[in-house]
Amino acid sequence: MKTLVADKNALRLNLSEVRSRAGNAEIVADLSADGQGLGLLRMARFLVEEGVEHFAVTEVRDAVALRKGGFQQVHILMLRSITDLRELQELMDYSVTFTIGSNEAGIALNGLAGELHTVAEARIRIDTGLGQYGFLPSETDKMLNLYRHMPGIAITGMYTRMSGVNLKSAAEAQYQAFMGAAETLRGQGVELGSLMALDSCSLFRLEVGEQNAVLVGSALIGRTPLKTGAGLVKVGSIEASLEEIKWLPEGTVVGLGKGKALKKPTRVAVLDLGWANGIGILRRSTRQELPLLKRLKVFVTPDDRFEPVVKVGGKRVPILGQTGMTALTLDVTKCECAPNDLAILDADPRDVRFLPVEMRE
């Protein structure tokens, strides 16, 4: 048995913290990465039950799945600026709000809307430093072109995605760049509609101000890059049954690759989990933090894999050697345990793969 478990009460606590910070601003839940790793429809159902009815996605298939899954009344924002006519057509069929971050995207959407004799709802995206989709804040002339010369598009708002928000000064600079572009457009007589600049990190760095909406994803599962917890709690753990348990003699080599030679007789337990499930794999951002992790004496394997905290019977147990694709070995010498007892691993749901998900009260 192995399952990714999410605590609904922890999710509610995080949502409460987000609401406290957001004030009257609308909460838009980012359901990218399969609903922050907890399952797209499962997470959407939970959020609707908690009163959240504005979603954002990055995949066309997710928008379609939400509509087909019964979420007909929720507002869905596509976060990518798209020029592919097939994707635009599919999103149009399922009443999704588009993102426009370039002239090309605007021209493609306006042309399709004209052919269909309809008007497409869209939001303008501004690139304030992430370097992905969006107009630069200085390109207000291109944004004005959308309002004035593209009758097939109804612009109902504008937004940005921030970067580097562990530095408050960086967050403030990006926010000011966004609001500067908004003020320029307002000065040209444009009705701005919904403004959305703050996200899971910057929401806890800056005041909401004029924002009508905030976009949160990682904050819902309490796994933001913030250096302080901001009142959020981590959501996500893996429960897995201990498989074979046995004593191995001194000198036995344990683990993948070069392995680890045991310095004394050791009682070990095997878990049917490995890097194929996302265990012990580092994201790039974590890899950049390796020197700090090593100074803090956090265990890092030779190939830059970061091993999670594993507990058996409430006691932390070490992982022996390098994690394999489908198995890892635990040192349970000092732990009272038997086959089929549960091991619990802290796990970011977005990293976990190929496991069933259970949301519990």
Q: Which pLDDT band, with edges at 50, 70 and 90, does 225 fall under?
A: confident
| Residues carrying CATH 2.40.37.10, the chain | 237-360
Q: How far apart are CA 325 and CA 257, in angstroms?
A: 11
Residues of the chain with CATH 3.20.20.10: 7-221
Q: CA nearest 317: which of 333, 302, 306, 305?
A: 333
Query: What is the token pair recorded at 22?
Result: 């957001």
Distance from C-alpha of 117 to C-alpha of 111, rounded to nearest angstrom: 10
Amino acid at the residue 150? M
Residue 4 pLDDT greater than 90, yes or no = yes
Tokens matching residue 137: 């804040």
> Which is it for strands 120-126 and 153-160: parallel, antiparallel or unpaired?
parallel
pLDDT, tens digit (0-9, with 9 covering 90-100), for 199-209: 998 999 899 99
The CATH class for the domain spanning 7-221 reads alpha beta
Span 265-304, pLDDT tens digits: 999 999 999 989 988 775 544 444 444 444 444 444 444 4
Pick from 128, 119, 130: nearest CA to 154: 119
Tokens coding 338: 């038997």
Residue the block writes with tokens 């592919």: 84
> What is the distance between the alpha carbons of residues 264 and 253, in angstroms, rounded to a whole number?
11
pLDDT in tens, 303-353: 444 678 899 999 999 999 888 899 999 999 999 999 999 999 999 999 999
Given a contact cutoff of 8 angstroms between Cβ atoms, the answer to whether 342 and 240 are in contact is yes
Say if pTM beats, i.e. exceeds, 0.85: yes
Q: Which CATH number does the domain 237-360 belong to among 2.40.50.140, 1.10.10.10, 3.40.50.970, 2.40.37.10?
A: 2.40.37.10
Radius of gyration of the chain (CA): 24
* Residue 290 pLDDT: 46
| Rounded distance between C-alpha atoms, residue 85 and residue 99, angstroms | 14
Task: Read off φ and ψ for residue 224, nearest 5 degrees.
Answer: -90, 165
